[in-house]
Copies of this chain bind each other. A is one copy, B any other.
Amino acid sequence: MRRAGIRDVADLAGVSISSVSNALNRPDAVSEQLRTRVRAAADQLGYVPLRAAQQLRAGRSGLIGMTVISIGNPFFAEMLEGAEEATSAAGYQVMLGNSDDSAQRESSYLELFELAHVEGVIVSPFGDVAPALKRLRAQQIPVTLVDGIDEQGLTPSVSLDNVQGGRMAVRHLVEIGRRRLAFVGAREEVRQTRDRLRGAASFAEEAGVPLDVTIGLRTTPRLGSEIGARIAGMPAHERPDAVFAANDMLACGIVHGLLTAGLRVPDDVAVVGYDDIPFASIAAVPLTSVRQPARAMGRRAGEMLVSLLRGEGEQPPATEVFAAELVVRASTVG
């Protein structure tokens, strides 16, 4: 079935094309009777004078594609909301591809966005997106990165210093007197995980404190809870006295698992998370967390993309690095 056009509406309503156009676009300028007649015909045919379709004919879809690692993590939902704020202010709408911890899904979205007529792309990278960035550049589709950087320096990016964030978390645990630390993290393919671990390990080494490492996990509260139960089940002399979890989804679960098994947080085990998602402050024990300004980062990546779309991008491409901030709550300082 061919899409109904304005001519079809005019034919069915028995009026001229310009009458249809006036009735739909400047309803106050026509009679109530004409308006009703044209609307009835348009409804019958399923015709809508798409603002979007008009934009597309003018070479503008108004669409921006965005991928994030896992939308189930409220951190990424906030980042998306920030990107939406910045781009909708400039007349764009974001369509999201949820990479869901899969490099294959991620690269597939980055192909599909082209077909979907997006004008620009925001990538919060999971895997190696260099080939996709190269292809998008070749198609002259502007891209910005958020929570990631382009090693080649060709793509504007907004990131956070996760090495510093990792150091910050472990320094805090050492400062409050903890001496047997554990790091619990997501997939090691994820650069953020590796950087947080690197920072954590470097500070632990400098302080001469052992750091037990568990990575490669899906980051869900449920899995965190299982890990908390496992830690609680260890003999007291082997058990870590502090856990640094590489995101709050895991950390909230770990606290729950520890409490459920009868341990005290932070007395027996202190817990630090990462991201400072909205639930961190209202968790079973309010969570100490390395705060990332997710919304501000998403907003900045959106603003940078809008600049590129307006032909106002900077050379060399801007790279903004946000600083991590430790928010101390009851999960470490009771």
Contacts and interface: CB of A to CB of B under 8 A. Distances in A.
A98 to B, nearest CB: 7
Interface in A60-103: 61-63, 65, 71-72, 74, 77-78, 80-81, 84, 88, 93-98, 100
Contacts of A253: 282
A109 interface: yes
A143 B325 CA distance: 45
Nearest to A137: B46
Given A77-B72, A220-B278, A279-B279, A116 B95 contact: yes
Nearest to A111: B52
Copies in the complex: 2
Nearest to A44: B138
B108 A93 contact: yes
Given A77-B72, A78-B72, A138-B45, A52 B84 contact: no
Given A115-B116, A282-B284, 19 more contacts: A1-B138, A43-B134, A45-B138, A46-B138, A48-B131, A48-B135, A61-B112, A61-B116, A72-B74, A81-B100, A93-B105, A95-B95, A115-B117, A116-B117, A221-B279, A222-B278, A252-B279, A253-B282, A279-B279
Interface of A: 1, 3-4, 43, 45-48, 50-53, 56, 61-63, 65, 71-72, 74, 77-78, 80-81, 84, 88, 93-98, 100, 105, 108-109, 111-112, 114-118, 131, 134-135, 137-140, 220-222, 225, 252-253, 255-256, 278-279, 281-284
